[in-house]
Chain A
């Protein structure tokens, strides 16, 4: 713990200044019983757990600012260093090394737009893709992250099904937006108090519209997910270019009759597009009650990877 106290010299004083000004005003005299004891901010203070936590958090934030500037994700002049909530990792890993290794940052970027769709006859109802997305969001569940905004066009979503993969009713706010799905999603992203915003538009989405969503997601540090549905099986419109960081296709696999009836069903998970990474394909076990995927037995060594 003491090693973490040696702070490397800050890269540029001007970048640190806004952070310090935000952190320094005062420490509330009455800390709640549940919070760790807060040491007074004097230089002589004994390094307690809270202090090292604070320093670690600050360093993480500095690292994030630098990473953002380094990658050129946003114009530095307009970048908001407070956009990311403190002490939440910027990426959401699947917990499956085979998949996480393919994704830049080791998981799904939290400040980005992602797309998911089902395949074949499930394109319209998108049941598999819905479960996949709900499982992802179930794991974005730090109390400070806030709920998920789920923007509907049709009202065929059945909430008990979401709860079964770990997304309980108190974590989702629904908005029935008709044709305005994208605009309402953007409204939700602007708010910055949500863990994620999901939208399930039926119609085509242009490049400009997806770029708007991506920008809003990036500025807010909120994950945006487009759950794409269509009455056309494997709609070619779903393959059109978009500004999304990743694009997933979830295909239900026929159960293996040799396995027990209690075995988890399998999905073929295709990563069709990935900004800064390569496409991939895996056979995975569908989400469990906490939204976690599993790598299907027998494919753990990458035999499921498509060319």
Chain B
């Protein structure tokens, strides 16, 4: 199902002014950091406020106010001429930047962005991680940003602007026709200012009030826009997002005479598109790291597939297979009238080196396999396990990307289990004295008599770095029970009441 992010940049014009100042004159910008800042535009012969920053807004200024009035209300006001062209250009640039998250992104003038992340969130580690990362990176760029994720653009747009949480996520299992919360103001519906004013004059303030009005009279009075917005928010009418295509991207598009519906037909088109894209990548000496395949349906809606590669590739067979494997997730709707393949991220890729020797064994490239596993399982679930210099067994292993080169290994000669329990499980052990292995222990209500034991091996945490490390003292024993099975036990020294025993693994 569709998942749309709406980003709201409430202070985009003033943020841009501050950013520009910080870049050109850092000292003055630092001195002015807390001063109220507004942009000024000319309305006939009157100068009015275009945008106000949060400081100015807190002092009672609002967009549309006369500048003279604002100057009286707020002494020391910093003024800057508004530059709508620069704001639009920045929005366009930000939309192109948002393609890092999903293949369909678009500016939402005057102060927002759309991202259709359907089917792309897992590449960023889930929806909430994606939103957090988005807000963090926008903040790093000096922009105040809020974002919301919902099943329709209408709801996402309203939530970004009116929800309390700056990264609101409407759960994907919530039915779409719930639409907007009843207590949202009617402005949340993206109505023209004239319609909002008229509705307010009638005493209609909240979304719930509108929903209660009969549709016929309302359409006659306010035009079709009100019912359209309600239907769009509830998912009854599809609201397309017209994605931007970065100007420098390598792209190809095939338009069909008859709408296509079958997976076979799509696969044939993918063949032609990948072949043409790979020819152009070869000519440019580049390889694709990320491919977006956009299906343009006859009803004007778009569906996109995104695949990433672990290493730049321009092998048509590999790229074709990656795309074709995802075809089953495509809903063709009433038919697809055009398909576009975009290389949304490319990297230089040198010409391939032919095998240097006739009889040298070809070393197979692992990247295609890793790509397929990642697109199937998600990036966090394909990994190598690399050594970390830590004495604490559970901290001595870390997951790294599957194509990372690992040069070292764990120190040889230590007794280490092959299966580990995380967290260690408490056991009841019978030991004669501290520093001696137990003579018997009970795990999962089965008593094991210890025949052979090796140890103790004392392991202490990083006592120099933190309190938890200082508290960690363990004496490890490898013991064998009467059936020959080997267990890795430890007696905890300080972290829990001294003398507690745990089973940590199997050898």
Binding site for B on A (CB under 8 A): 23, 27-28, 30-32, 35, 38, 50, 53-54, 57, 85-87, 120-122, 125-127, 130-131, 134, 142-144, 146-147, 149, 155-164, 168-170, 172-178, 180, 184, 187-188, 191-194, 251-255, 257, 261, 265-266, 289
- Chain B 493-507 per-residue mask, 1 if CB under 8 angstroms from chain A, else 0: 000000000000111
Provide a sorted-by-A list of 9 A–B residue pairs whose CB atoms are within 8 angstroms. A87-B361, A143-B363, A160-B414, A164-B414, A164-B418, A174-B382, A176-B382, A177-B377, A180-B377
Instruction: Tell me, yes or no, whether B419 is within 8 Å of chain A by CB.
Output: yes
Main secondary structure of the interface of A (DSSP, over half): mixed
Instruction: Tell me, yes or no, whether B28 is within 8 Å of chain A by CB.
Output: no
Closest B residue to A255 by beta carbon equals B452
- Chain B 349-364 per-residue mask, 1 if CB under 8 angstroms from chain A, else 0: 0000011111111111
Whether the pair A57, B418 counts as a contact (CB closer than 8 A) is no
Whether the pair A146, B366 counts as a contact (CB closer than 8 A) is yes
Complex formed: what's the CA distance from A170 to B361 in Å?
20
Whether the pair B369, A38 counts as a contact (CB closer than 8 A) is no
Residues in chain B near residue A157, CB distance under 8 A: 418-420
The one of A38, A144, A174 in contact with B357, judged by C-beta atoms closer than 8 angstroms, is A38
Whether the pair B384, A174 counts as a contact (CB closer than 8 A) is yes
Please tell me which stretch of B42-50, B68-76, B219-227, B481-489 contacts chain A, meaning at least 4 of its Cβ atoms lie within 8 angstroms of it. B481-489
Query: Nearest chain A CB to B37's CB is how many angstroms away?
Result: 50
Complex formed: what's the CA distance from A57 to B360 in Å?
11
Complex formed: what's the CA distance from A176 to B420 in Å?
16
Residues in chain A near residue B377, CB distance under 8 A: 175-178, 180, 184
Residues in chain A near residue B410, CB distance under 8 A: 159-160, 163-164, 169
The one of B386, B409, B416, B506 in contact with A125, judged by C-beta atoms closer than 8 angstroms, is B506
Complex formed: what's the CA distance from A175 to B419 in Å?
16
The one of B369, B419, B454 in contact with A194, judged by C-beta atoms closer than 8 angstroms, is B369
Complex formed: what's the CA distance from A269 to B383 in Å?
31
> A174-B385, A176-B377, A192-B364 are known contacts. Are A158 and B356 too (CB-CB below 8 A)?
no
> A131-B418, A254-B480 are known contacts. Are A184 and B369 too (CB-CB below 8 A)?
no
Residues in chain A near residue B23, CB distance under 8 A: none
Query: Nearest chain A CB to B408's CB is how many angstroms away?
Result: 8
Query: Nearest chain B CB to A19's CB is how many angstroms away?
Result: 13
Residues in chain B near residue A38, CB distance under 8 A: 357-359
Complex formed: what's the CA distance from A175 to B376 in Å?
10
Residues in chain A near residue B360, CB distance under 8 A: 35
Residues in chain A near residue B486, CB distance under 8 A: 127, 252, 265
A53, A161, A191, A289, most chain B CB atoms within 10 A: A161
Whether the pair A173, B384 counts as a contact (CB closer than 8 A) is yes
Whether the pair B416, A193 counts as a contact (CB closer than 8 A) is no
A35, A143, A172, A176, most chain B CB atoms within 10 A: A176
